[in-house]
A and B are shown apart, each in its own frame.
Chain A
């Protein structure tokens, strides 16, 4: 995920539809990936994580897919709700290291 400065990519969806947010990561040595949700004025909130030995993981209304071949991560949100409106960040961690590297974020807007 490249930073796009002040102009975040925006995904606009209708309430009740499914949302798919994509992220391209950079480091083939990354072994752990996390999706965070950040609402205005708040810190990032953990949504779901996945290790590199998996290609899919499901949570409540959310699914993360990992494609290591093309270094791509996606977050699927089922039946999107107005409360899902926020900026979503993917983050990667290199091989049991200690730092998370964040992508530039995607703004999700849910229309009622």
Chain B
């Protein structure tokens, strides 16, 4: 176990709705990265948060947004959900001097 936790484990939403996913980083890690993993594919980088600021973003539209809190936990928000947003959403924590990213178990989102 990595010590990275995510909630909820599963979620079902309908098209057009909004969703918030949560991640608690491993103790001592100050950086959280979010990834989207479609079925049968490798994870794709959404964005990273470091010291409560966005620190890099992948090729995802602005309706994907995030937050990081002073305790380094993080949220991923997705607005105006589309069917193609159905995926496993992973967060990974790392830190200063810890470049390896350790992943949580993921949140599986289904958009109907």
Contacts and interface: CB of A to CB of B under 8 A. Distances in A.
Given A34-B100, A43-B103, A49-B100, A100 B41 contact: no
B103 A36 contact: yes
Contacts of B40: 4-8
B42 A42 contact: no
A8 B102 CA distance: 23
Contacts of B45: 99-101
Contacts of A60: none
B90 interface: yes
A94 B55 CA distance: 14
Where chain B touches its partner, the secondary structure class is strand
Nearest to A8: B40
A3 B41 contact: yes
Given A5-B41, A101-B45, A104-B41, A42 B105 contact: yes
Interface of A: 1, 3-8, 32, 34, 36, 42-46, 49, 89, 91, 93, 97-105
What are the 7 tightest A-B residue pairs by CB atom distance, in nearest-first order? Answer: A102-B42, A43-B103, A6-B40, A99-B45, A98-B56, A44-B103, A98-B48
Interface of B: 2, 4, 31, 33, 35, 39-45, 48, 50, 55-56, 58, 90, 92, 99-106
